[in-house]
Amino acid sequence: MSDRYAVIGNPIGHTKSPLIHRSFAKATGQDIEYGAIEGSLERFSDDVHAFRKAGGLGLNVTAPFKLQALALATERLERAELAGATNALKFEGDRIIADNFDGVGLTRDIQSNLGFSLKGARMLVLGSGGAVRGALLPFLAQQPAELVLANRTLSKADDLAAQFAVHGPLRACAYADLAGERFDIVINGTSASLKAELPPVPAEALQNATLAYELAYGKGLTPFLRLAQNAGVPKLADGVGMLVEQAAEAFLWWRGVRPDTRAVIERMTIPLA
């Protein structure tokens, strides 16, 4: 009988996780079954426990359950604890172990796949949601010259900066405070692109950037990426590489082998046009 894993979210029909993990399993010779679960908004914990009782060994967790999954865990690894959310669970007996691979997947995509070093870079991150929280510790571990966190609600960015500042040079600001500043790498972690909207970042903040990265994936040339293109940013990227790389980290955590990601990323990449 194959070992069972799945992704849980609501809605879940759009998920690419089964495709990704089945590709990983085929490439690495791992005997797994990987499905998708549309979790109940009212009975998330019941769904998780039912999956465990049926023999499930691990879950990827997507919106809107990342906070509930963390609360359900009996053990929280540092990345999940600091992010305040988890995107992966592992079941070992009575233990429910939580980790968060969003940030490490994003960092790997930027550095290993796209070839941009974060060490010594001036970075601007837009937004302060769960994906951004998960990225801050892996970003700061790469020793950027400075990481600036901009958000519509400054108090949220201030809270994150206070929490993570011990790990590296991090400061918060409002969008209006970005006037006159220049950055090497700009990352959009807001939900604006999901609604085809533009976060209120001044175009001048992108003028010296070499990379503009959109966490959303499969949306083509989003308003943020179009702004970056018009500002002359030479490299534009969306979050498909992050998606695949965080999946590879979870696969390694569960199975003890890290799959090669290049073929899957190439298969899933949509031209930014």
Note the pLDDT tens digit of each residue in 98-108: 999 999 999 99
To the question of whether residue 136 is assigned a binding role by annotation, the answer is no
Kindly tell me if the per-residue pLDDT of 273 is higher than 70. no
Nearest to 212 by CA among 231, 197, 192: 231
- Rounded distance between C-alpha atoms, residue 222 and residue 201, angstroms: 14
- Quick one: tokens of 166? 């011990």
**Cα three-residue angle 244-248-253, rounded to 5 degrees:** 150
End-to-end C-alpha distance for the chain, whole angstroms: 44
Residue whose pair of structure tokens reads 């500043």 in the numeric block: 181
Percent of the chain with pLDDT over 70: 100
The reply to whether 151 sits in an annotated binding site is: yes
Q: Is 16 annotated as a binding residue?
A: yes
Confirm or deny that 107 is annotated as ligand binding: no
d(CA 46, CA 55): 14
Instruction: Locate 4 and state its tokens.
Output: 């069972």
Q: Which residue, 267, 270, 265, is CA-closest to 248?
A: 265
Q: pLDDT tens across 28-80, in order?
A: 999 999 999 999 999 999 999 999 999 999 999 998 999 999 999 999 998 89
Q: Is 115 annotated as a binding residue?
A: no
Q: pTM here?
A: 0.93
pLDDT at 14: 87
DSSP string, 138-204: HHHHT--SEEEEE-SSHHHHHHHHHHHGGGSSEEEE-GGGGTT---SEEEE-SSGGGGT------GG
Average pLDDT score over residue span 75-97 = 94
- Quick one: pLDDT at residue 174? 96
Average pLDDT over residues 133-153: 95
Q: Are 99 and 66 in contact (CB under 8 A)?
A: no
What is the average pLDDT score of the chain?
95
Tokens of 231: 């500002």
Q: Is residue 262 very low, low, confident or very high in pLDDT (cuts 50, 70, 90)?
A: very high
* Res 195: pLDDT: 87
Instruction: Report the alpha-carbon angle 174-160-200, nearest 5.
Output: 25
Binned at pLDDT 50, 70 and 90, residue 270 comes out as confident
Q: Which domains does the chain have, with CATH numbers?
A: 3-100+241-268 (3.40.50.10860), 103-238 (3.40.50.720)
Judged against a pLDDT cut of 70, whether residue 242 lies above it is answered with: yes
Model pLDDT, residue 18: 97
CB 195 within 8 A of CB 133: no
Predicted confidence (pLDDT) per residue in 216-227, tens digit: 988 899 999 999
Which one is catalytic: 53, 66, 90, 195? 66
> 17 a known binding residue?
yes
Rounded to whole angstroms, the Cα distance separating 32 from 205 reads 46
Flag whether 129 is marked binding: yes
DSSP structure class, residue 94:
T
Give the tens place of pLDDT for each residue, 152-168: 999 999 999 999 989 99
The answer to the question of whether 180 is labelled as a binding residue is no
Q: Output the six-digit token pair for 271.
A: 């031209």
Respond yes or no: is residue 53 known to be catalytic.
Answer: no
Tens of pLDDT along 2-33? 999 999 999 999 899 999 999 999 999 999 99
Q: Which of 218, 203, 232, 192 is nearest to 273 (CA)?
A: 218
**Which of 14-18, 126-130, 175-179, 254-258 shows the highest mean pLDDT?**
254-258
DSSP 3-state of 12: coil
The verdict on whether residue 105 carries a ligand-binding annotation is no
Q: How many CB atoms lie within 10 A of CB 230?
A: 10
3-state secondary structure 205-232: HHCCCCEEEECCCCCCCCHHHHHHHHCC
